[in-house]
Chain A
Amino acid sequence: MIDIDIAINMLLLLFLIAMATTILRLRRMLAVAMILSLYSLLTAGLFMVMDAPDVAFTEAAVGSGVSTVLLLVTLTLTRTHYAKNTARLQWRPLIIVLLTGGALLYGVHDIALMGDINAPAHRHVADHYIAEARNETGVPNMVTAVLASYRSFDTLGEVVVIFAASIGVMLLLGDGRREHRDGDTP
C-alpha cells in the first residue's frame, strides 16, 4: 500500500523532470504551452497523492485549464510562434537560480514530516478547529469551516485579488484584439 504510493510519487516526479527539460529545449511556443499544461496536471496529481484533493482541484482548474487557454490566447494575439534562441550561457540568471535552489534545498531540512503531530502547524489552533468547528460555525466540512468562517476575511481578500487580476487580463486581451482588428481593416 505505502509502496505503491511512493512508486507513483517517484514516477510522477521523474515525469516532471522530463517535462521541465523538454520545455527548456523546445522553441515552438505552442508545444511549450501544451507541455506546461501537462506539467500542471502532473503537479495536481502529486497533490492528490499527498492527500490534498482541494489543492489538486485548484491546481488542475487554474494551472491546467485557465492558464493554458490564457497562454494560447496570448500567443495568438502577440503572434509569437518561436522563442528566441539564446545559445550562449547567461551567468547572472544562472547564479540567481542556483542561489535560490540552494536556499530551497537548505530549507527542506526544517520542513516537518508529512502527518507529524508535533509540527508547528498542528500544535497551534488545529485542535480547537477540530473540536469546535461544527459547534461554532455549523458547517459540516472542516476545511470549508476554516476557509469560509474562521478565515472569511482572508478568503474575501483572495477573491478581491482574483477579481482584480481577471479584470486586468480581460482589459489587456480585449484591447489587443480591438487594436489588431482596426489594423486589419483598410
Chain B
Amino acid sequence: MTLFVVAAVTILISMALAVVRAVASPTVFDRILAVNMFGTKSVLLVAVFAFLSGRPDVLDIALLYSLLNWLGVLAALRMVEREEFYSSEPDDD
C-alpha cells in the first residue's frame, strides 16, 4: 500500500510539471508534447489508483485513456502537418 501511495505522489508531481509546461510554454509544439505527457501520466495514475483503491477492474479505463490520448495527439499533429499552424513564436497575447 505504501508503495502505491509513493508511486501516486510521484506521478502527481510529474503531472504538475507537465501542467506547468502546458500552461507556460514557448511554442505550440511544447504544448502538444505536454498534453501527450500529461495523458501518459494520467494513464499511470489511473492504474496506480486502481490498485490503491482495491478495484483492479478500473484498469480498463487506463487502457481507454491511452488509446484516446494517442488519438487526440495524432489529430493535432496531422493538423500541424497539413496547415501552417506550427511556428516558433510565443502564442500568448
Contact = CB atoms under 8 A, between A and B. Distances in A.
A27 B72 CA distance: 20
Contacts of B67: 65
Contacts of A11: 12, 15-16
Contacts of B16: 11, 15
A21 B78 CA distance: 27
B51 interface: no
Contacts of A30: 28, 76, 79-80, 85
Contact of A34 (B19, B35, B49, B65): B35
Interface in A13-69: 15, 18-19, 21-22, 25-28, 30-31, 33-35, 37-38, 41-42, 44-45, 48-49, 53, 56-57, 60-61, 64-65, 68-69
A72 interface: yes
A48 B61 contact: yes
A166 interface: no
A72 B49 contact: no
B91 A15 contact: no
A81 interface: yes
Nearest to A3: B5
Nearest to A64: B68
A22 B46 contact: no
Given A15-B19, A26-B91, A49-B49, A65 B38 contact: no
Interface in B7-59: 8-9, 12, 15-16, 19, 22-23, 28, 31-32, 35, 38-39, 42, 45-46, 49, 52-53, 55, 57-58
Q: Which 7 A-B pairs have the closest CB atoms?
A: A28-B91, A65-B68, A68-B72, A22-B23, A69-B75, A34-B35, A37-B72
16 contacts: A4-B8, A5-B53, A11-B12, A28-B85, A28-B91, A30-B28, A30-B80, A31-B31, A38-B39, A41-B65, A53-B58, A57-B64, A68-B76, A69-B71, A81-B85, A85-B93
Given A41-B42, A61-B68, A85-B93, 11 more contacts: A4-B9, A8-B12, A11-B15, A33-B76, A37-B35, A38-B22, A68-B75, A69-B71, A72-B75, A76-B79, A76-B83
